[in-house]
Chain A
Amino acid sequence: MALVPTLPAIRPPPEPPLLFEAPLSYDDRFASVLRVQKPRLDRQRRRSLTVVLPVLCLLVVLGSVSAWATSDRRNGFADFFREVGSFDWLPLLAGLAVVVVMCVGAWLLHPVLIRQQLRAALGPRGADGPVTVRYRLDEEGITWDGADLKSFTPWSFLSGLDEDRERIFVLTNVPDNPFVLRKAALGAEVLEAIRLRVTEAAGRPDAAGGEAVPQAAPDAVRLSYTLSEKERAALILYTMNTRSMRLSRLRSALFWIAGLSLLYPLLLAVLWAMDPYRVPFEAALPLYLEMIRADAWQPAIGATALVGLMLAINPLLRRFAARDPARQATAAARPGDYHVAFDADGLASSHGRAQARFHWEAFRGRARAGDLILLKLPWGSVVPVPARAFASGDLPRFEALLARHLPLRSRR
């Protein structure tokens, strides 16, 4: 029996690490969040034309026909069908025109409004200018080295690549935190190498087993936790109720009050413009102005009451709105605890093979959201730490570190 010697598998020599530098700014962070949210936002935008428009048109048709059918003492279908030839199309057409204008307007304005909302969610640009980040792509994953923050993300945490005209996004399993690189800052060769490496390696299982341990001083305050669904909901609620979000809500409320107050005058103006028997402008204008003077307060008060009611029940609505994303985030979370250690230098964390090191200078303040202690990073990011996760006696030590390195600010 001939023996065939078994040759050991030949592993291709590792590629040399890809090293490059690229700036990261508020606009890059904004673009990355917008890009990640784009499929959901595009669906939302399409719905204003594919769902809202037909439904509102149907309601206008039903409302106009019903109002006409029950007016002038028309009783029953016999009267309706006998007089259907005299149906006044004008209110119906004006109603449809207003609905079309509103829905197309919402469709056109959607990108602008969404940008405003996202900017409110990220918070003000602040004094934080662009930082230069050094990247290293190697066999294990991506190392990110900024001024006050250094992290390592293994390929198993990375899910793919996305691009627009100006930027390239390396998507991670933390949906709102892709790596974002400005193409103009990278050479064509580097760009092509990034594309090639990420496409090949994203999602690749970790070569080394086990979990990383946070690299911190021996006397560091250490804790491990997995965020519960309730804590994730509290975190989402916090991001929905920052100062900039509250201001944004107030702006939206004023916009809605103005918009709804103007709806009635707008409907009348559309009726006039479309009317084949329109009253001459010089006769209609004084009546129109008198109508606005006499009647404008009614829709304004109605709109204010409606918007006020919505603002009053907004906390309740926010709680409902936070539930679903919290549930989804909990279900989609990568299994395993987060390990965190706080020392005099800052925060070291690990999750699976991923690691990060934040210097205290990286943080812009702190806040509380229920049991969560939130350490705020620039441009809307936070590190949530549940107080329940501290071992007995560790919480006072942690608070002492916070008091020393991150004094409490009155505003968030």
Chain B
Amino acid sequence: MMRLRRRLAALAMLALCPGLADAQEQTADVPWNRTVTLDQGFSLVAPEGWKLEDAGDDEGDATGRRRVHLVCRTPACKRTQETCTLLLRAEPVAGADDAARLAGLYAEPLARYFRLRAVLKSTSAGASLRSPLQTLRIGERDWTAVETDAKHNKKSGLFAETVIGGRYLGAICRTCETGAIRHRDARALLASIRRRE
């Protein structure tokens, strides 16, 4: 029951920006290894002050997870309430190389349309597109990314996907920040992602 309540509370926080510094519950600053290991050989280094949330009953195997949720707990994030969720797919992506595989994800205009629709729906009702679906260089690799702008009191999003060694990784990062510079930590997080075969 407690777990369910925690998860519901976390889900509510995913989308809502109370806009109050005190709204975020302080958690004990427990030291932890900032390197997070995922399934399929993926790993990342969480930015300073970011915490790994309970993965719940997420399906993973012995080597790691296929879904992780990271939350920023820094004082600056009391206002911005940044989070990132990383998702892996069980099946490899077909294609000659990673660039072709990434391009193949949204080669069709209909696929691009439904991607845009999905990110708008995932952001909140009345959200708009802040940047189009485009290829961005984040760290050492290319990402297909789109940014949304939420209505007041809702979180805006950075939705990015990449393919490394034929394996898909998607990231959904949210923030209450409404200024021109957003998702700085999230980009650092994405830039840190590595994969070993």
Q: Are these two chains actual partners, yes or no?
A: yes
Are A280 and B128 CB-contacts (below 8 A) given A287-B109, A291-B109, A294-B109? yes
Which A-chain residue is minimally distant from B90 (CB atoms)?
A73
Which A-chain residue is minimally distant from B133 (CB atoms)?
A283
The reply to whether A277 and B109 contact each other, CB–CB distance below 8 Å, is no
Asked whether B121 is an interface residue with its Cβ less than 8 Å from the other chain, the reply is yes
Q: Report B134 CB to chain A, min CB distance, Å.
A: 12
Are A291 and B125 CB-contacts (below 8 A) given A278-B117, A279-B117? no
Chain A 284-315, CB-CB to B under 8 Å as 1, else 0, gives 10011011001100000000000000000000
Which residues of the other chain, A, contact B121 by a CB distance below 8 angstroms?
Answer: 277
The reply to whether B113 and A275 contact each other, CB–CB distance below 8 Å, is no
The secondary-structure label for the interface of chain A is helix
Asked whether A276 is an interface residue with its Cβ less than 8 Å from the other chain, the reply is yes
Q: Report A284 CB to chain B, min CB distance, Å.
A: 6
Most buried by B among A268, A275, A276, A279: A279
Asked whether B20 is an interface residue with its Cβ less than 8 Å from the other chain, the reply is no
The reply to whether A279 and B113 contact each other, CB–CB distance below 8 Å, is yes
Are A291 and B117 CB-contacts (below 8 A) given A276-B125, A280-B128? no
Chain A interface size band reads 10 to 19
Complex: A207 Cα to B50 Cα, angstroms: 109
Q: Report B174 CB to chain A, min CB distance, Å.
A: 17
Which A-chain residue is minimally distant from B107 (CB atoms)?
A294
The reply to whether A287 and B113 contact each other, CB–CB distance below 8 Å, is yes
Which residues of the other chain, A, contact B132 by a CB distance below 8 angstroms?
Answer: 283
Are A280 and B129 CB-contacts (below 8 A) given A287-B112, A290-B109, A294-B109? yes
The reply to whether B117 and A277 contact each other, CB–CB distance below 8 Å, is yes
Q: Report B15 CB to chain A, min CB distance, Å.
A: 14
Chain B residues at the A interface, C-beta cutoff of 8 Å: 108-110, 112-113, 116-117, 120-121, 125, 128-129, 132
The 9 closest A-B pairs by CB, nearest first: A277-B121, A290-B109, A291-B109, A287-B109, A279-B116, A287-B113, A277-B120, A277-B117, A279-B117
